[in-house]
Amino acid sequence: MVLGKLKIDKKMNITNICCIGAGYVGGPTMAVIAQKCPHIKVSVVDLNEDRIAKWNDQNVDNIPVYEPGLGAIVAESRGRNLFFTTEVDRAIDEAQLIFISVNTPTKTYGSGKGMAADLKYIELCARQIARVSKNDKIVVEKSTLPVRTAEAIKNILDNTGNGVQFQILSNPEFLAEGTAVEDLLSPDRVLIGGDTSIEGQNAIKALVDVYANWVPKERILTTNVWSSELSKLTANAFLAQRVSSINSVSELCEKTGANVSEVAKAIGMDSRIGSKFLKASVGFGGSCFQKDILNLVYISKSFGLHEVADYWEQVIIMNDHQKRRFSKNIVTTLYNTIADKKITFLGWAFKKDTNDTRESAAIYVANDLINEQAKIALFDPKVSYKQALSDLNYLETRTSPENEKCLTVLDDPYEACKNAHAIAILTEWDEFKNYDWQKIYDSMLKPAFIFDGRNVLDSPKMKEIGFIYQSIGS
């Protein structure tokens, strides 16, 4: 017991943090930690030199992640105690606590293809940490990982390291893009999973102390590692399930004359159900929902739990159906042919207030319409031609030159809508509501169609102008 007591008393005071991965999660999370903990040096490292250069751009409007409020936070701490660098080894060596925040895409090859998470980058990080470390370190999984990854990381660290001690914690990120800063500043909860040993508990305590600089203690939950890893996957699965549920109702509404917004309001006022995540849409996107559910499906299958796997897979099936249903409706409404017709996309990002396009419904809808030989003209306030084209190419439906022929991107929404047969709204950017819709109507071919995949426009007003206006679920 004396030994145990000694170890518990060994207070770990964190003064140096390193984060591997300067992406949508690592960048904002470290910026907020640095702002709230001026006594801690925070280094964010990334293999991608271009990305690091953008994080260091003098003009914070050019940082690679667009999030409301993020520029100001970066400006405040950068160069003081927040550093973006490609010197990975040095940052690892100096740090007492290392966040791993690299991406974990769905595998595109081999066993588990299309379902399991590709842990290649995670393993590379673990090996690099093992090689460089000369003193004890706490390694924190920030990336969303399949349950039991911590064990694999621990194995690599313990067997390839220089004999130093590692503690692995799971600290999944619950921030949503577009509201990242708000979510980080006042999180519903911070979850930290760790080993039940004394050393594990010490490591948990050290990370709790970092967050306690601004998060109320009662919002910091500590669990074992497996619960923490599984909580992240299931939180996303539950949220996605709500979207798929309301989207399934939207189709029923269209057939029965009910209105999905009215139904969502009516059921959401039941406090047991709650009002959030009941907005019918063209389908959920983003880097997490699909990947995390596929992960859940994959682990369920690997334990032989086929009913559990099927249950969650249905959330994805419903989402694919919702996207396809939207593009099919455009084709049938435009007299069953859209060949060579200009169709304007307003929005490409997977939701408003982000420049992230991963798994965005827009990509799949565009792909379907291009299969029908439509010409897509795109306007999104934060998405470039290069990005949209690369998203289409990633699907490998056709060659890049073929995609290039079917996609144009304009930096003016009115130009994008000129001479179009139809407008499809794919992202709920606020500015779309305030456009001069009469002016847009006047510049389009007639009849002028709007397919509102986000239910953002005022239906009676659009119809009064003369549009043939269709939304989701009414």
Q: Which is nearer to ligand UDX, 202 or 357 (CB)?
A: 357
Asked whether 354 and 435 are in contact (CB, 8 A), the reply is no
Minimum CB distance to ligand UDX, residue 89 (Å): 13
With CA atoms as reference, report the closest residue to 225 among 311, 149, 111.
149
By beta carbon distance, the residue nearest ligand UDX is 23
Q: Which of 141, 173, 199, 254 is catalytic?
A: 173
Q: Which is nearer to ligand UDX, 145 or 406 (CB)?
A: 145
Interacting residues of 119 by C-beta distance below 8 A, sequence separation 6+: 104, 145, 146, 149, 152
Determine the Cα–Cα distance for residues 27 and 25; give it in Å rounded to an integer. Answer: 6
173 is catalytic: yes
Q: Which of 137, 232, 342, 352 is catalytic?
A: 232
For tokens 């690599």, the residue is 156
Q: Which is nearer to ligand UDX, 67 or 199 (CB)?
A: 67
Asked whether 121 and 46 are in contact (CB, 8 A), the reply is no
Footprint of ligand UDX (CB under 6 A): 20-26, 46-48, 51, 101-104, 121, 124-125, 142-144, 173-177, 236, 239, 243, 277-279, 281, 284-289, 291, 350-351
The radius of gyration computed from the CA coordinates of the chain, to the nearest angstrom, equals 24
The count of other CB atoms within 10 Å of the CB of residue 361 is 27
Q: Which is nearer to ligand UDX, 121 or 441 (CB)?
A: 121
Minimum CB distance to ligand UDX, residue 1 (Å): 40
Determine the Cα–Cα distance for residues 276 and 279; give it in Å rounded to an integer. Answer: 8
Q: Which is nearer to ligand UDX, 75 or 124 (CB)?
A: 124
Asked whether 161 and 134 are in contact (CB, 8 A), the reply is no
Q: Which of 125, 288, 406, 417 is catalytic?
A: 288
Minimum CB distance to ligand UDX, residue 340 (Å): 30
Three-state secondary structure call for residue 3: helix
Minimum CB distance to ligand UDX, residue 371 (Å): 22
Alpha carbon separation from 352 to 250, 285, 425, 428 (Å, rounded): 21, 12, 12, 5
Minimum CB distance to ligand UDX, residue 279 (Å): 3
Minimum CB distance to ligand UDX, residue 368 (Å): 17
Alpha carbon separation from 433 to 52, 262, 277, 346, 454 (Å, rounded): 35, 20, 21, 11, 11
Q: Which is nearer to ligand UDX, 284 or 449 (CB)?
A: 284
- In the sheet that holds 220-224, the strands lie side by side as 82-85, 41-45, 16-20, 97-100, 137-141, 166-170, 190-194, 220-224
Element (H, E) at 191: strand 190-194
Enzyme catalytic residues: 173, 232, 288
